[in-house]
Structure 1
C-alpha cells in the first residue's frame, strides 16, 4: 500500500526501524519490508508475502519492478521520496521516473527534501500533481537564555516545582538540578507521589546506566531528569542528544532559578 524511497541502504534500515516504532500497536496487521542487506532472492521472497509498506532505494525498487517481483499498479496508495535532493545527487532520477510510471494514476505522493533546486522542481512535476508545498522554517531565535529566579522558603521549593509542572508552566522535557545525590532521590520520590515520572542522573552511576537513562529520556519514557551539577555530561557517550527543554535549579540558597532558550 505504500512505498518509501530513500537514497541509501543504511537509510532503509533506519526508516524501517522508525516505521516499526510508529506501528508498535498494530504490528500484527501492518507489515514492513526493507530492501537493504538481503540478497535479491531473499527480498523477492519477502515481497511475495505482500507487505503493506516497502522501504528501499530507487535502484532496488526499480529492479524488482523490472523482474516482476513487485507490482504497484493495483495496490499502491502512497509514494514517499525521502531525501529527494540526495536521491537526485546519487543519480537515481531515472529510477524514480520508472517507479512513478508503474504507479496507479490515483496515488498520494510525498517529496521530502532539505533543498529545492531546479532539478528537484523537475522531479516534483514527475512525482506530484498540483502539490501543496510545505516549507519548514528554521528557528530564527537568538539561542540565548533568559534566566529568572523566585525566592521561596526551603520547605516550599518542592511544592512550587510541583505547581509549575502541574500548571504546565514548565513544558516539555526538563532537567532539575539539586545540590546532592540525596536531594536527587528526595525530589524524585516527591514527584512520584503525584504520578510524575522522573529519573535520577548522577556521577556515581555506571556509564551504561547513565546512557540507558538518557536514552529513555530522549525517547520520552519520562520527561524529567533530576541531576546534581557534576552529573551532566559525564561519560554518557553523548546520549543526551535531544537535550532538555528547560533547566531548573531547586537546590541551595533560598531561590529557584530557571533557564529557557528563546
Structure 2
C-alpha cells in the first residue's frame, strides 16, 4: 500500500496525519487524493468507516495552502450532526493554516451565521436548506469564487423524491461558479449515478470499492427473528446482556420514528440503562448535547432515528441494534456503518419480525452477505416480558400527556411557512382532497354493489332458462 507522501501531499499535511495517528492511506484515499490534486472532479464510493472525509479534506487543504482566500470551499451534507463532524476534521488537520470555517445549519441563529459568512471563512460546511435560505435572503457574502464543491453523502442529497433537497440544491448551484472542482462521496453512490454525473461535469474520476461485500469484514452481522409484540423485551434483554459482559461498550439503537425513539429512551431509563435520545424533533442544542454525552461515554446507549445513520464517526461504538428492519438496504448499510469503523470490530443486530423477512432478503442481496442468527436465551426474555410491556405502556401514556404531538404539528407548520406555503390553506386543501377521495370510495362501492346485483340477476336468469 502506498504512503501519504507517495500521493503528492505536502510535508505539513503528512505531519498532521502522523499527529492524528493516521499513518497509511485507505483505498479510497489512495485512489481519490491524486485525482483531486490533479484538478479533476471526483466521485468516490466506499464502505462506511473507510476514511472518505479525509479523502477530500487533505487535498482541499493542500490547494488552499497554495492559494489561501475565503470562501474557497463549500461542503454540503444532509444532516446537521455530520456538518459539525466534517468541520472538526477541517479544523484539526488545517490548524497550521489558521483555518477559518463556518457551519451553516438549521436550528441555529441565522443572524450569527450571516455575520460569519460575511467574514469570508475559508470553508463553509452547510445543510442545503439553511444555505439556500441565506442565499435567497442575504447579499453580504458571495460563493462566486469557490474552487471546491463537496457533496458528502451525495446520494442522499440528490435522491429522487427528496424534492426539498433538490430545490435547495438548484438555488445553491445557481450561486456558485460553473468552473469548479466537484467532489462527491458516499457509501451508496451508485443508486443516483446519472444525477451525480450531471453535477460533476469536469471529466469526473469515478472510484468504487471493488469488494463485492458492501459492508466491512470486521462487522459481524446478525438477526433475531422476534414476534412483533415482544420486540422490546428482546431489546431490553440484549442491552442487559451487553452491559453484563462488556460494561465499557457503547450501543446505538436505531428506530424509524421520533415517537418510538422518545418512548424507547424513556423505557430504557426506567430500567436504569444510561441512555440518551437523538431525533429531529429535539432542539438543535439538545441534539448536540445528547451526541456530546454519548461521544464522551457519559451515556453508553444512544437511541436515534436515521439522523444519526450517516457519516457519524464515534470510535467507541461496538454494537448497532436495528429496532426496526430498514425498508431500504442502503439505510441498513449506513446504519450498521456506525460500528466496525477504521479497522475496528463491531456487531450489528437486526430485530426481524414475521413481516420483515422480505426486507432482510433485499438487504442480503444488496450487501452480498448473509445475516447470521443471533442466539438468545428465550426463557430470560419471557421472564421480563410482562414488566417490559407494562413499562412501555406507562411511558407511552406519559408521552401522550406531554405536548409531543403538538410540537410535531408546530414544526410541520413552521416548515410549510419556510417553504412559502400557507398552513391553513394547505389544511383546507387536504380536507377537500379527503372529501373527494371519500366520495370516490363511496361511488366505487356503489358501482361494485350494482355490478354484483347485475351478476346475480344474470345468474338467476341463466338458471331459470336452463330449467
TM-score, reference length from structure 2:
0.29
Alpha-carbon spacing, 1:131–1:244, altered in 2? closer, same or farther (3 Å): closer
Structure 2 unaligned regions, length at least 5: 1-71, 219-246, 249-294, 296-315, 320-338, 345-467
Q: State how far apart, in whole Å, the 2-side matches of 1:131 and 1:78 are.
A: 14
Q: Does 1:56 align with 2:129?
A: no
> Deviations along 1:34-61, whole A, 9 cap, x unmatched?
1135211110011111100000011122
Verify the 8 A CA contact 1:76 1:104 in the aligned structure 2: yes
Matches within 5 A, 1:80-229: 80-89=150-159, 90-91=162-163, 92-117=165-190, 119-138=192-211
Note the C-alpha offset of 1:127. 4.0
Query: 2:112 aligned to 35, 42, 49, which one?
Result: 42
Alpha-carbon spacing, 1:143–1:136, altered in 2? closer, same or farther (3 Å): closer
Structure number with the higher strand fraction is 1
> Deviations along 1:178-212, whole A, 9 cap, x unmatched?
xxxxxxxxxxxxxxxxxxxxxxxxxxxx97xxxxx
Q: State how far apart, in whole Å, the 2-side matches of 1:143 and 1:42 are.
A: 44
Alpha-carbon spacing, 1:85–1:238, altered in 2? closer, same or farther (3 Å): same
Q: State how far apart, in whole Å, the 1-side matches of 2:158 and 2:136 are.
A: 21
Q: State how far apart, in whole Å, the 2-side matches of 1:94 and 1:80 are.
A: 17
Which structure would you say has the larger Rg?
2
Q: State how far apart, in whole Å, the 2-side matches of 1:120 and 1:61 are.
A: 24
Note the C-alpha offset of 1:119. 4.1
> Deviations along 1:203-250, whole A, 9 cap, x unmatched?
xxx97xxxxxxx9xxxxxxxxxxxxxxxxxxxx8759965878xxxxx
Verify the 8 A CA contact 1:72 1:103 in the aligned structure 2: yes
> Deviations along 1:96-154, whole A, 9 cap, x unmatched?
232222211311111112224564412431343321111123376x969xxxxxxxxxx
Paired residue total:
156
Q: State how far apart, in whole Å, the 1-side matches of 2:148 and 2:174 are.
A: 14
Verify the 8 A CA contact 2:154 2:189 in the aligned structure 1: no
Answer 1 or 2: higher relative contact order, Cα 8 Å, separation at least 6: 1
Q: Secondary structure at the match of 1:80?
A: strand
Structure number with the higher helix fraction is 2
TM-score, reference length from structure 1:
0.50
Q: Secondary structure at the match of 1:34?
A: strand
Verify the 8 A CA contact 2:77 2:128 in the aligned structure 1: yes
Q: State how far apart, in whole Å, the 2-side matches of 1:79 and 1:243 are.
A: 25
Structure 1 unaligned regions, length at least 5: 145-205, 208-214, 216-235, 246-262
Q: State how far apart, in whole Å, the 1-side matches of 2:340 and 2:184 are.
A: 27
